[in-house]
Amino acid sequence: MMTGMTPRLTLIAAVSADGFISAGKGVPWDLPKDREHFRAYTSGKWLLLGHQTYEEMLGWFSNHHPLVLSRDAKFLPFNGERVATVQEALNLTQKANQKELVVCGGSGAFSAALPEADQLVITHVNHLLGGGVPFPSFSQKEWEPVERTAYDRDDTHAYSFAIVTYQRVAHYDRAA
Ligand SMILES: NC(=O)c1ccc[n+]([C@@H]2O[C@H](COP(=O)([O-])OP(=O)(O)OC[C@H]3O[C@@H](n4cnc5c(N)ncnc54)[C@H](OP(=O)(O)O)[C@@H]3O)[C@@H](O)[C@H]2O)c1
């Protein structure tokens, strides 16, 4: 029997002005203040990551509990657990009485989780990548910006950016 409340599902991403999260492999910009924000937001939380992003972030996890999205039943993550679906990840998170599950990408994980998501925390980077790994499109009608913090370019940030929190205007009934 399931206990506890359904955890809030948050997607956290840094997205280029033309809608990409990567030019191919790795993060395509170096924005220390955004890294700081990512570290602070995810600290101590249960995370959901696609297999590739998990491999890229190995060594970064400290007080996190990573759930790794993979179709390969033989894949055993070094830390955390493998899950086959977003729903399985939500069920495990709920069983552990966690209030939130934070989806950290990549594109596959974001696309699978977006229909279930309650909140988006997006760093909009003022830079065009011209192609690469996309963030799934989301409708401004469905998502309301509730908080926005802008950062200018400076000696350590080649691009200006804004961190925007969006909340779903009306969440469809997951149980329906
Ligand atoms: N800018 C940002 O905010 C940000 C954040 C995260 C990542 N990234 C970048 O994004 C890129 C990686 O994105 P990606 O889309 O190529 O890879 P990904 O989503 O990290 O990983 C892809 C793998 O995850 C598993 N997977 C994905 N969707 C699944 C689903 N619906 N059900 C079951 N398993 C699923 C599959 O693993 P198996 O092959 O094991 O089945 C798939 O091969 C990297 O370049 C990374 O640096 C950017």
pTM, whole model, 2 decimals?
Answer: 0.95
**Tally of CB atoms within 10 A around 127:** 17
Question: Does residue 57 line the site of ligand 1, with CB under 6 A?
Answer: no
Local structure of 14: helix, strand or coil:
strand
Q: Say how many Å lie between the CA of residue 1 and the centre of ligand 1.
A: 31
Question: Does residue 133 line the site of ligand 1, with CB under 6 A?
Answer: yes
The span from the CA of 87 to the CA of 116, in Å, is 9
The span from the CA of 53 to the CA of 8, in Å, is 21
Domain range list for the chain:
8-168
The span from the CA of 51 to the CA of 45, in Å, is 18
List the pLDDT tens digit at each of the 176 positions of the chain. 566 789 999 999 999 999 999 998 888 999 999 999 999 999 999 999 999 999 999 999 999 999 999 999 999 999 999 999 999 999 999 999 999 999 999 999 999 999 999 999 999 999 999 999 999 999 988 999 999 999 999 999 999 999 999 999 975 444 44
The span from the CA of 129 to the CA of 21, in Å, is 9
Mutation test residue for ligand 1: of 25, 58, 68, 69, the one with most atoms within 8 Å of CB: 69
Indicate the CATH number of 8-168 among 3.40.430.10, 1.20.1250.20, 1.10.357.10, 3.30.70.100.
3.40.430.10
